[in-house]
Amino acid sequence: MPELLRWHARLGGAGVRATRKRVLVLEALLAEARPITARQVHAELLQRGEPIGLTTVYRAMSSLVDAGLVHAFNQDGEATYRVCGPARHHHLICRACGLVLEQAAERRPDGFEVEAVYGVCAACVRPALSEQDFDAPRDQPGRPRKRNAGADERD
Amino acid sequence: MPELLRWHARLGGAGVRATRKRVLVLEALLAEARPITARQVHAELLQRGEPIGLTTVYRAMSSLVDAGLVHAFNQDGEATYRVCGPARHHHLICRACGLVLEQAAERRPDGFEVEAVYGVCAACVRPALSEQDFDAPRDQPGRPRKRNAGADERD
DNA sequence: TTACAGCTTGACAATGGTTTTCGTTTTCTA
DNA sequence: TAGAAAACGAAAACCATTGTCAAGCTGTAA
Ligand SMILES: [Zn+2]
Ligand SMILES: [Zn+2]
Ligand SMILES: [Zn+2]
Ligand SMILES: [Zn+2]
């Protein structure tokens, strides 16, 4: 299982021990294509029969972020986490479906160094015809919107 | 005082009454070049001898955002507000000094529609030499950093 | 193996920004 | 001058996140 060993190596290289709980959290993140919250990870692990405290999930997230394996985002006012590649990059974050795309590091002509771009991805922009969710992008289930999903852009 | 009347007109046009408290909040925002929090507005108005409740400040912000006069951001995990121009635009938001720049509406070649770009502005990128705050950009005092100003990008 | 130091875990409490609640006050209109 | 609707504000509720602290685990040196 060289896959798991690689993660252990990347954790150890950052001075973070690959404890059982941290690996569980990492596995839960690896199973998701788009970022999820600490609460979601917590619920999934409990459902898998792996007892873990929510506090521990938060701390594991912090460790994984420190180790550079995971990046954190802010979606609808709460923190979400996703496993990212090792190359330096920034992100495109769709506020409609939650999808995150990695982009090559970029410094704009005006000198502004981009770290995160929030907006609406191509798949979610297209069907801007309907107010409801019918005809939503098929391959992207979309995350449930929360309170405060109004006209502002507080991501 | 045609200035004030213009604001009244823009508020009324959006179905938002220009009440005394709302105008006070708007004035407080107009005095600031970069976004500020509801708590800051609240404190400034109290200092000016204008009694107002924090709840009312929050609701005034919501109304002003609905009316399109004010845009909301998320800086260091809390909401900040700034008066914006009427043209459709998105924002460059510096996480170091809090500056917000309006940018012409933009859709990337890949179809992603940009709404907010978080990163570090040119003035703040340059002096990346010192860890401390000495030699910080002079013309931009910079806002005090808060908890969680770590490696992640949770804006 | 044992002992010890230090890291990890998790139940619980605390924090802090924001929203709800609800009774009072103000504003608009007839 | 009413009466209705909107706005106001103090206090409580909300909720994601962090702090606390006692118990458990891990690695290492004796
Ligand atoms: Zn990433
Ligand atoms: Zn999308
Ligand atoms: Zn704006
Ligand atoms: Zn800056």
The pLDDT value given to residue A126: 87
Q: Give a yes or no: residue A141 inside a domain.
A: no
What whole-number distance in Å separates Cα of residue A66 and Cα of residue B152? 8
Q: A32-71, pLDDT tens digit by residue?
A: 999 999 999 999 999 999 999 999 999 999 999 999 999 9
Say what percent of chain A tops pLDDT 70.
79
What whole-number distance in Å separates Cα of residue A107 and Cα of residue A26? 31
- Tokens at A155, concatenated: 């991501």
A75: CA distance to ligand 2 center in Å?
12
Q: Give a yes or no: residue A17 inside a domain.
A: yes
Query: Which H or E element spans position B11?
Result: helix B2-13
Q: Give a yes or no: residue B34 inside a domain.
A: yes
What is the domain-level CATH number for residue B48? Answer: 1.10.10.10
Q: What is the mean pLDDT of chain B?
A: 84
Give chain B's domain count.
2
Q: Does B74 touch chain A (CB under 8 A)?
A: yes
- Tokens at B30, concatenated: 């107009």
Q: B1-11, pLDDT tens digit by residue?
A: 446 667 777 77
User: Which pTM does this prediction carry?
Assistant: 0.87
Q: Give a yes or no: residue A117 inside a domain.
A: yes
The pLDDT value given to residue B133: 44
Nucleotides of strand D within 7 Å of the protein's CB atoms: 6-11, 16-20, 26
For A70, the domain range is 2-83
Mean pLDDT, to the nearest integer, of B137-143? 46
The gap between A13 CA and C19 C1' (Å) is 44
Count of CB atoms situated within 10 Å of the CB of A124: 22
